[in-house]
Amino acid sequence: MTDSPLRLLLAFDAQARRDTSQPPAFLHRRDRKFALVCEQQGVTPEANRWLAHLNRLSGPGTKPSAANQPLRFWRRVSTGFAAVGMVAGVFAMVGLLFYDGGQRINITVLLAFVLLQLLLALLTAVQSLAGWQPWRWLLRRFQGTPTQGVINRLQPVLMARSAHLGGLCFAISGLVTLLVMVVVQDLAFGWSTTLETAAANYHRLVQIIAAPWAWLWSAAAPDLTLIEATRFFRAGTGNTSPDPARWGQWWPFVTMLWLTWVLLPRLLLWVLTSMLLRHRARRLLSHHPAMRALLYRMETPALDTGNAHNDAADLPDTGLRNNLLPMPDSDILLCWAGAGEPELPDTLSSGKQLVLRAGGRASLADDEQVLSQIGTHCHGADSKAVILLTRCWEPPTGELQDFLESARDVWPDGTRVALVPLAADSTREPDAHQVQPWLRFAERLGNDFVRVSLPPLQPQPNPYTTSGEPS
Amino acid sequence: MTQAPTFAVVGHPNKGKSSVVATLSQNDAIAIALEPGTTRKRQAYPLTVDGRTLYTLVDTPGFQRPRRVLQWLEAHSVSASDHVDTVSAFVTQHRDDGRFTDECELLAPLLDGAGIIYVVDGSVPYSAEHEAEMTILRWTGRPSLALINSIGADDYSDTWQTALGQFFQVVRRFDAVRAPFEQHLSLLRAFGQLEPDWEAPLEQATQYLSGQRQQRRRQAASLVARALDDMMSFQEKRTLTAGQAAETSDGSLADQLRQRWYRHQRQREQTLRVEIEHLYQHQRIRRQEAELEWHSEHDLFSEDSRRAWAVSKRYLATAGFGAGAVSGAGIDALTLGSSLGTGALVGGLIGAAGSYLYGDRLALPALNIGVLRDGLKTATFGPVQDSQFGYVVLGRAIDHWWHISHRNHAGRDLLELEPADHHWLESLDKGSRKDIQQAFDKCRKRRPLDLRQREKFTDAIEQCMAVYDDWRLNRT
């Protein structure tokens, strides 16, 4: 008998417990990949194949499976039961057949002992089926560390299997002892009971007991004459039998009695328990929550959202700047890429001789014309400053950079540009975070040709006074 | 097989292109900053299913010199039929020209067959200055969709919508930082509408993504269940020799144990948070409560947390009744039902009374200082005797899960976990209440949960997540 479903279950359970400390995404990728390989090879991704696959990948020298530990423990328990059963069988049979020549070996006692054995075997079977574990405390004591996982649910059956194995060994060694003693000793069997039983009644009982083998071996089913001849009484003299050889004629019955009612039931129950164990192990494996999760992982495609790329630390310079300068006096106002639309604020437009537009919807040729126009104007002017209005929310782009670089070449030396970012609501100052890119842009240009200034705010009308009214 | 669709996310600098890509590719490690030139090279983010690509998003730098590019294109084109070739010629000619690096990076995927996702910021006024960019994009002849992504508080989306409608086949609004998951899926479906061949893979992708989301919820519930098991059953133990015992007073020993126990619980909670964040592919979240301090109002053991997350005594009693009834039902089973359910009733009553009366006890029963025996003295603190502790941990864990599962990967702000102001758990069904209380009771007694119980516990936590989600949805 092989314990492979049990071994498989325990190995699976151990792997499932190890997997609980792995990230779910890893488990999913691993198992889905295995399922896909199985699909390619045309095989079903069963648990044993899965475990073999994992072990194979870990290579030689892998630690012995955690499943082996409980199996070893239960193998030791079984060996212990078998050894004890073997020794006990010899002693029990020697005790039962104790014969010093002066008395008879009472068949009734043998029948009672066999009945006891049968009852014990049945009790063990019932106990395992009902799942009672009155011996659990003892087990815990021997195991040292408490067992974990699915093995706990199999303990009643495992214990029953070991107990039946012990019983089987007991029966075998008892039978062997019986046969040896029949050969080496002259055993005298008889039957006796305190109850007033007629030989015919006893014969009926013996017939019922011997029914399973009577057709096979008639010598092992004692007839009425033998029963009548071998009855002895407590005060009997021992020589009531006409033929001393008749006392020994009971041995085939005793042998078959032991074989059929002690050995066979134990063998049968041991086989049944082993089958039950395999069945339960298979069932527990298929109902194992980790199995459900594994199947789910195998069936569900592994999704990768392409998030492996990491450049979060690779940011451009976003350090804060505070090199804002006051707005210079200038009579040139240049609106870049739609800044100041639809209406320029009075505080900016008043007193300006030249108000021009560039960038945005204007063509590059228009930009060049604006450049030369300002250049010409600056040649004759005292103050060589240009106010360049921008929309604070639009970031400075390469086009503006190109424009400013051309301006530096075209405009007379000493000309300065004040970049003035305007907020969407021109009566308000732009937000600090919207000004910062402009400060950094001016700094990146790397000269003092360009600087950044904030627009002068329009005086807010007093909502509590209207023009014409005395304040 | 047709090639998987590719979408190039293009636009003016600083309009949230990278944010859109970060959210849709669930990547919180994409550089996002209010600085032109943050994205320097194009970067592809493929969505793969079992290694098969369903679609690819390409993040690109913004336009730097659109007017110059358009001028070049117009100068080299004779008729509308040569527009694509002219754009291609521009890229070929200017690949090594430093001034047009961004434009070449942006146009190259379009020339390779990518669809256009043009991103604008709906919180700033529309400006016609973008028309040069849009004209260049139209020259590429690729299917196109415009996205209005609002970065700031103001809303000019209507004007943008009208203007963009003249240039693009489809115009959608999408807030990369705040859009709920369903909108991500709906946006992906919209990508599929750009070309008939793209519909099937995008539809498939959305199905896979929603499946993944379901799966993550289950996994998160399982992580929470494991953390609760660990925290509820944790015991801090210290063994002292006779010499050490003589030097240490019981009071200071108790303090040490208590402190270590508290520290362990906080660390375990932190581990759970990181696990949940990684599950949802958030690797870089900064949390308001990164360092849990004793005095902090967000601390696991603070009164605020207890007030916010603990359950009422009535709740405890009903959950305790359910859990106790299950144990009592064992007696009924033993008597083959002849006890007529008395076992379940008595068990339930004992459970309810126990939870009601002892639900609040934390400190004293958890401490146990043994007597000196064989030259050794053992002192233990824990496991916790207070069911409420479990509910506080559960509440905080679910709240954190909720924030993480609803957080988009473009969001880079601090994650602030404020305690809730309502006992949301009260709307949990009776079965789940019982399963949770039963699991707590077992953990408190340091009895391991078997696989079936763990499954039920995980199911109940998943139910809690649904209840919390529902409560959050209906809160405002």
Output the DSSP codes for A378-443: HHH-S--EEEEEEETTSPP-HHHHHHHHHHHHHSPTT-EEEEEEEPSSTTSPPPHHHHHHHHHHHH
**Mean pLDDT to the nearest integer, B435-453:** 87
**Mean pLDDT to the nearest integer, B347-367:** 60
Total-model pTM: 0.79
Which residues, numbered 330 to 389 in chain A, qualify as contacts with chain B under a Cβ-Cβ cut-off of 8 Å? 337-338, 359-361, 363-364
Residues of B in contact with A424 (CB under 8 A): 124-125, 154
Pairwise CB contact (< 8 Å): A305 & B281: yes
In chain A, the number of structural domains is 3
Pair A142, A206 in one domain: yes
Give residue B92's pLDDT: 95
Give residue A273's pLDDT: 94
Pairwise CB contact (< 8 Å): A300 & B211: yes
Using only C-alpha atoms, chain A has a radius of gyration, in whole angstroms, of 52
Residues of B in contact with A20 (CB under 8 A): 226
B68 closest CB neighbour out of A303, A310, A364: A364
B144: number of Cβ within 10 Å: 24
Which residues share a beta bridge with B45?
Answer: B57
Could you tell me how far CA A13 lies from the centroid of its own chain?
9
Pair A250, A151 in one domain: yes
Is A371 inside any structural domain?
yes
Pair A39, A88 in one domain: no
Q: DSSP letters along A28-90, please? A: HHHHHHHHHHHHHHT----HHHHHHHHHHHH-TTPPPPTTHHHHHHHHHHHHHHHHHHHHHHH
For residue B1, pLDDT over 70 is answered with no
Helix (H, G, I), strand (E, B) or coil at A155: helix
Pair A262, A338 in one domain: no
What does each C-alpha distance from A369 to A361, B65, B442 come to in angstroms?
A: 14, 18, 84
Give residue B292's pLDDT: 43
Residue A470 pLDDT grade (very low, low, confident, very high; cuts 50, 70, 90): very low
Span B296-335, pLDDT tens digits: 555 667 666 677 777 777 777 777 776 666 666 666 665 6
Chain B interface mutation, best of A17, A29, A294, A303, highest count of B Cβ atoms under 10 Å: A303
> Looking at per-residue confidence, does A100 or B84 come out higher?
B84
Residues of B in contact with A436 (CB under 8 A): 34
* H helix and E strand count, chain A: 16, 8
Which residues, numbered 423 to 442 in chain A, qualify as contacts with chain B under a Cβ-Cβ cut-off of 8 Å? 424, 433, 436-437, 440
To the nearest whole Å, the CA of B281 is away from the closest chain A CA by 8
Give residue A101's pLDDT: 64
Residues of A in contact with B211 (CB under 8 A): 300, 303
Is A161 inside any structural domain?
yes
Which residues, numbered 108 to 167 in chain B, qualify as contacts with chain A under a Cβ-Cβ cut-off of 8 Å? 121, 124-125, 127-129, 131, 152, 154
- Rounded CA gap, B83 and A46, in Å? 58
**Element containing residue B10 per DSSP (H, E):** strand B6-11
- Rounded CA gap, A73 and A84, in Å? 17
Pair A49, A173 in one domain: no
Pairwise CB contact (< 8 Å): A399 & B68: yes
For residue A238, pLDDT over 60 is answered with no
Residue B224 pLDDT grade (very low, low, confident, very high; cuts 50, 70, 90): very high
To the nearest whole Å, the CA of A143 is away from the closest chain B CA by 17
Residue B12 pLDDT grade (very low, low, confident, very high; cuts 50, 70, 90): very high
For residue B422, pLDDT over 70 is answered with no
Which residues, numbered 272 to 331 in chain A, qualify as contacts with chain B under a Cβ-Cβ cut-off of 8 Å? 288-290, 296, 300-318
- Beta strand B376-381 with B367-369 is antiparallel
Span A382-436, pLDDT tens digits: 778 899 999 999 999 999 999 999 999 889 888 899 999 998 887 788 888 889 9
For residue B426, pLDDT over 70 is answered with yes
The torsion region of residue B374 among left (phi > 0), alpha (psi -120 to 50) and beta comes to: left
- Beta strand B6-11 with B52-59 is parallel
**Mean pLDDT to the nearest integer, A225-251:** 71
**Element containing residue B8 per DSSP (H, E):** strand B6-11
Give residue B252's pLDDT: 86
**Mean pLDDT to the nearest integer, A349-357:** 84
Number of inter-chain CB pairs under 8 A, A vs B: 161
Residue B291 pLDDT grade (very low, low, confident, very high; cuts 50, 70, 90): very low
Is A346 inside any structural domain?
yes
Pair A199, A51 in one domain: no
Q: Supply angle C-alpha B255, B259, B261, rounded to 5.
A: 115
- Rounded CA gap, B380 and B236, in Å? 6
> Looking at per-residue confidence, does A146 or B449 come out higher?
B449
Is A230 inside any structural domain?
yes
**Element containing residue B6 per DSSP (H, E):** strand B6-11
Pair A418, A447 in one domain: yes
Beta carbons of A74 and A80 less than 8 angstroms apart: no
The runs of H, that is alpha helices, within A131-214 are 136-143, 155-184, 199-214
φ, ψ dihedrals at B287, nearest 5°: -105, 145
Is A321 inside any structural domain?
no
Is A250 inside any structural domain?
yes
- CA of A402: which chain B residue's CA is closest? B65
A309 closest CB neighbour out of B30, B33, B71: B30
B64 closest CB neighbour out of A311, A316, A399: A399
Residues of B in contact with A305 (CB under 8 A): 25-27, 45, 47, 209, 281
Using alpha carbons, select from A208, A221, A286 the residue that is nearest to residue A252: A221
Residues of B in contact with A428 (CB under 8 A): none
Average pLDDT for chain A: 85
> Looking at per-residue confidence, does A100 or B45 come out higher?
B45
Beta carbons of A315 and B33 less than 8 angstroms apart: yes
Pairwise CB contact (< 8 Å): B27 & A307: yes
Which residues, numbered 212 to 251 in chain A, qualify as contacts with chain B under a Cβ-Cβ cut-off of 8 Å? none
Give residue A118's pLDDT: 93
Maximum Cα–Cα distance across chain A: 161
Residues 6+ apart with CB under 8 A from A88: A170, A173
In this structure, chain B runs to a length of 476
For residue B284, pLDDT over 80 is answered with yes
> Looking at per-residue confidence, does B58 or A233 come out higher?
B58
Residue B294 pLDDT grade (very low, low, confident, very high; cuts 50, 70, 90): very low
B50 closest CB neighbour out of A32, A311, A398: A32
Q: Could you tell me the residue range of the domain that residue A370 belongs to?
A: 332-452
CA-CA-CA-CA torsion for B297, B298, B301, B306, nearest 10 degrees? 80
Region of poorest pLDDT, from A242-246, B252-256, B262-266 = A242-246
- Rounded CA gap, A36 and A177, in Å? 60
Contacts 24+ apart (CB under 8 A), A194-199: A199/A224, A199/A227, A199/A228, A199/A231
**Structural domain boundaries in chain B:** 6-194, 216-280+300-323+363-474
Fold of B6-194: Rossmann fold (3.40.50)
Pairwise CB contact (< 8 Å): A394 & B127: yes
A395 closest CB neighbour out of B36, B131, B279: B36
Joined tokens for residue B216: 């993550």
Region of poorest pLDDT, from A36-40, A434-438, B27-31, B243-247 = B243-247
Q: Which amino acid is at A37?
A: V
Joined tokens for residue B346: 């008595």
For residue B17, pLDDT over 80 is answered with yes
Pairwise CB contact (< 8 Å): A310 & B26: no
- Domain boundary pick from A278, A297, A316: A297
Is A302 inside any structural domain?
no
Is A470 inside any structural domain?
no
Give residue A239's pLDDT: 53
Pair A197, A143 in one domain: yes
